[in-house]
Chain A
Amino acid sequence: MTVIQVIINSIIRASELTLLSLGLTIVYDILKFANFAHTEFAVVGAYLAFFLSVTLGLPMIPAAIIAAIATGFLSIAIDRAVFKKMRNSNGIIIMVTSMGVAIALRNTVRAIWGADARSYVLPLQSPLVTQWFRITSLQIWIIIVGAVAMILFHLLLHYTTLGKAMRASSDNPELAQASGIATEKIVTYVWFIAITFASLGGTLIGMETFLLPYMGFAIIIPVFCATIMGGIGNPYGAMLGALVLGFAENFGLYINFGKVFNLGGLLPFSRDMFIPTGYKPAIAFVMLIIVLLIRPRGILGKKKEG
């Protein structure tokens, strides 16, 4: 494995994470709670896409898009039924509730589709292979979709009325509400955008690997990590956090720490030391702890008063 391959893997991973962390950060910011069900929506979307494409026979792209939209609406429904009633509740209560929603969603998927791994039916990938790296067209798509999502989001945020309203609500919620920006309407849009992105992210991950009911949980810590590292409420932070984490995870597994410890051959210490792949989630965790201890507001986060 060459460094270039690691870089490519990092970018792919960052792209997947961005689709998820963007949504998480805006929900966290506008609705003021950590949505533990966020990645479960991604899973629901991925399985819906599976249903549409494999069971119903739709082509993959429309299936993914329709699934994303459907999941977006589902999230609005769940917001209305559950979270809306808790707008003024204490943070922990909403978090625990979102965990309840997560458990319910995850296991509904499991009840319907079973615990075994599922796969999309995709055309055989002929990867691009050079002496330095290898990349499949799916992976290129993942990078493209991630990038397009980021651009679209940026455009939304800065060139639409909704975007302006979102930024206003984010910077100063009381003032926004007082000046008549219809915050409930914004909430609806925020959920929709956040969850459609998440659903696409889940679908792409499912396409790259396979679908398992608990895959949402597998990714929740890295997504939270990326979001918090970048600074909650800052979509660019979410993108940055995803990038940093993508690189950290892949380089973390790639670097031979034995070489680091013996200073590249200077010391008579020769052992190969790699972080075992089983510990990949631990990388996200450690980074999260470090960020929270040193700079809790994240790289691009806003400073809170007092």
Chain B
Amino acid sequence: MGFINFLVYLAIMMGIFAILSVSLNLQYGFTGLANFGQVAFFCLGAYATTIVTLTFNMSFFLGLIAAMFLAGLFGYIIAIPTADLREDYWAIVTLAAGEIVRIFFLNEDWVVGGGPYRGGAYGVGDIPQPFRSHFSAQTYPFFYLGIVLACLLVTYLIVNRLTKSPFGRVLKSIREGDDNLAQAMGKDVKKFRIKTMAIGGIFGGLAGCLYAHYYGFISPQEFVPLETFIVWAMVIVGGEGNNKGAILGSVIIILFYNSTRYLKDYIPINETTLASLRMVAIGVLIVVVMLFMKEGLIKEKKRIY
């Protein structure tokens, strides 16, 4: 890959994961919802847009909307029976929910149209790229980066607005684990949690859609819980409870993750081993940050009126 192309690739990844990160930050950083199944939104968004644009041949915009809708709906549905669960149980439930989504797509190949070597564990390829025909092979990545950044901007603006509003204020009052105050002040805590999960889902789905159209190929293998925890690493490193931090976290982790990509050209190390070591590094990073820097790089700003 040419160097410029590699940078564009990095930027697109940072953008997509920043959206995921902002979404998770809304759930965990602002509302205290420890979603261990964030990847489910990502996965649903990716598959939804694939089904709409590939199987049914409809436009990218419809795919985008389908992705956001399906993921948001999933967030909403999962939250309804579980919103009042203790935080650790809730983490376990969301972890399991994420896995169920992945298993579903692993087993049900008909969802993406079936056919030989398609769907299920084989994954789905040939996902159409929006407006591809208008651009050359060299310029298209830049255009796509533009789409990603535009989506990120919209995501940031919406989530930021929400968190700075009275709605966000209530979220912050819920996040410390003790609902008493919020209840005593007449706030329907459960409803706020459900809404947050739906919104988190919508943006998670958006990221999934962008991911699917960029890679052109998706498979259940890519939507494993590790993805959720990479996003967690981003939220923690960047600083929970602030949206800029989430974006910064995404930049840092993606850089970190990709920095060793070319290492194998210089060090005689096997590709799988390198990939594994990168994961080990992510795991260690999470531990280290939690131990020494759990506020993250950008601390949450105090709200002064």
Residue B258 at the A interface, CB < 8 A?
Answer: no
Q: Are A103 and B232 in contact (CB under 8 A)?
A: no
User: Of the candidates A86, A115, A217, A292, which one forms a contact with B89 in the assembled complex, judged by CB atoms under 8 Å apart?
Assistant: A292
User: Of the candidates A85, A97, A107, which one forms a contact with B277 in the assembled complex, judged by CB atoms under 8 Å apart?
Assistant: A107
Supposing A82-B291, A221-B96, A292-B82 touch, asked if A96 and B277 sit within 8 A by C-beta, the answer is: no
User: Of the candidates B96, B103, B236, which one forms a contact with A278 in the assembled complex, judged by CB atoms under 8 Å apart?
Assistant: B103
Q: Are B290 and A111 in contact (CB under 8 A)?
A: no
Residue B300 at the A interface, CB < 8 A?
Answer: no
Residue B294 at the A interface, CB < 8 A?
Answer: yes
Interface-forming stretch among A87-95, A136-144, A189-197, A249-257?
A: A87-95
Residue A110 at the B interface, CB < 8 A?
Answer: yes
Binary contact track B274-305/A, C-beta < 8 Å → 1, others 0: 00110110111111001100100000000000
Binary contact track B226-246/A, C-beta < 8 Å → 1, others 0: 100100110010000000000
Which B residues touch A85, using CB under 8 A?
A: 291
Q: How far is the CB of A77 from chain B (nearest CB, A)?
A: 13
Q: Are B92 and A96 in contact (CB under 8 A)?
A: no
Closest residue on chain A to residue B282 by CB atoms? A103
Q: Are B88 and A95 in contact (CB under 8 A)?
A: yes
Q: In whole angstroms, what is the CA distance A125 to B25 when docked?
A: 52
Q: In whole angstroms, what is the CA distance A90 to B88 when docked?
A: 10
Q: Are B92 and A104 in contact (CB under 8 A)?
A: no
Main secondary structure of the interface of B (DSSP, over half): helix
Q: In whole angstroms, what is the CA distance A82 to B36 when docked?
A: 21
Within 8 A of B (CB), among A202-226: 213, 217, 220-221, 224-225
Which B residues touch A284, using CB under 8 A?
A: 96
Residue B10 at the A interface, CB < 8 A?
Answer: no
Which A residues touch B263, using CB under 8 A?
A: none
Residue A157 at the B interface, CB < 8 A?
Answer: no
Closest residue on chain A to residue B235 by CB atoms? A96
Within 8 A of A (CB), among B88-141: 88-89, 91-93, 95-97, 99-100, 103, 106-107
Supposing A92-B87, A281-B103, A292-B89 touch, asked if A107 and B279 sit within 8 A by C-beta, the answer is: yes
Q: Are A285 and B97 in contact (CB under 8 A)?
A: yes
Q: How many residues of A contact B (CB 8 A)?
A: 45
Q: How far is the CB of A37 from chain B (nearest CB, A)?
A: 9
Q: In whole angstroms, what is the CA distance A225 to B100 when docked?
A: 14
Which A residues touch B36, using CB under 8 A?
A: 99
Q: How far is the CB of A223 from chain B (nearest CB, A)?
A: 10
User: Of the candidates A86, A104, A225, A293, which one forms a contact with B283 in the assembled complex, judged by CB atoms under 8 Å apart?
Assistant: A104
Residue B85 at the A interface, CB < 8 A?
Answer: yes
Which A residues touch B89, using CB under 8 A?
A: 228, 292, 296
Q: Are B225 and A217 in contact (CB under 8 A)?
A: yes
User: Of the candidates A103, A213, A292, which one forms a contact with B286 in the assembled complex, judged by CB atoms under 8 Å apart?
Assistant: A103
Residue A33 at the B interface, CB < 8 A?
Answer: yes
Which A residues touch B82, using CB under 8 A?
A: 289, 292-293
Binary contact track A282-302/B, C-beta < 8 Å → 1, others 0: 101100110011001000000
Residue B86 at the A interface, CB < 8 A?
Answer: yes
User: Which of B82, B93, B177 counts the most A-chain CB atoms under 10 A from its CB?
Assistant: B93
Residue A64 at the B interface, CB < 8 A?
Answer: no
Q: In whole angstroms, what is the CA distance A228 to B291 when docked?
A: 27
Closest residue on chain A to residue B97 by CB atoms? A285
Residue A264 at the B interface, CB < 8 A?
Answer: no
Q: In whole angstroms, what is the CA distance A33 to B294 when docked?
A: 18
The 9 A-B residue pairs with the shortest CB-CB distance, nearest first, are A100-B286, A104-B283, A103-B283, A107-B279, A111-B276, A100-B287, A278-B107, A110-B276, A285-B96
Interfacial residues, chain A to chain B (CB-CB below 8 A): 33-34, 82, 85-86, 90-93, 95-97, 99-108, 110-111, 114-115, 213, 217, 220-221, 224-225, 228, 276, 278-279, 281-282, 284-285, 288-289, 292-293, 296
- In addition to A224-B96, A225-B96, A293-B81, 19 A-B residue pairs with Cβ atoms within 8 Å of each other are A86-B290, A91-B177, A96-B34, A96-B286, A97-B290, A99-B36, A100-B233, A100-B290, A102-B283, A103-B279, A103-B280, A104-B283, A107-B277, A115-B272, A221-B92, A278-B107, A281-B99, A282-B103, A288-B93
